[in-house]
Amino acid sequence: MSSITLRFLAEAGTVNVGGRIPGGTVLRWIDEAGCACATQWAQRHAVAVFVGSIRFQRPIHVGSLVEVEARLAYTGRTGMNLSVEVRSGDMTGGEMQTATECLAVCISPPVMSP
């Protein structure tokens, strides 16, 4: 099956009042990684239609290195089920720890010609 990993630095522009990355930002990252993985597999544009079983296990702090890994778990005719894991850790190295996990469903509907 297919997988994709996005890596980037958690920026200060997305911080909430508690000095952490907001859950909505994490959900945007999940959507981006899931759609990129599904689009790569389907070889045409894919969109998310469901994200669920979200478990926020630990906060992500500003300045952390973030990895968002989306892995295909099942594919159908036009739909794909994905497992998505968000990990974060220190930029200088060390172990990345799971911050969030969830399931996502993306679809890549057939393109209708006029």
Structure tokens at 49: 């239609």
Task: Give the model's pLDDT for residue 58.
Answer: 95
Match 């990129």 to its residue by tokens: 36
Domains of the chain: 3-107 (3.10.129.10)
Strands, sheet with 79-89, edge to edge from the N-terminal-most edge strand: 3-9, 65-75, 79-89, 97-107, 47-56
From the number of C-beta atoms within 10 Å of its C-beta (0-12, 13-18, 19+), residue 71 rates as: middle
Q: Are strands 65-75 and 97-107 parallel, antiparallel or unpaired?
A: unpaired
- Region of residue 53 (left: phi > 0; alpha: psi -120 to 50; beta: else): left
Q: From 87, 37, 95, select the one nearest 60 (Cα to Cα).
A: 87
pTM metric for this prediction: 0.90
Chain segment 33-86, per-residue pLDDT in tens: 999 999 999 999 999 999 999 999 999 998 899 999 999 999 988 899 999 999
When pLDDT is cut at 50, 70 and 90, the band that residue 112 belongs to is low
Q: Which of 9, 50, 57, 8 is nearest to 31 (CA)?
A: 50
Count of positions (residues) in the chain: 114
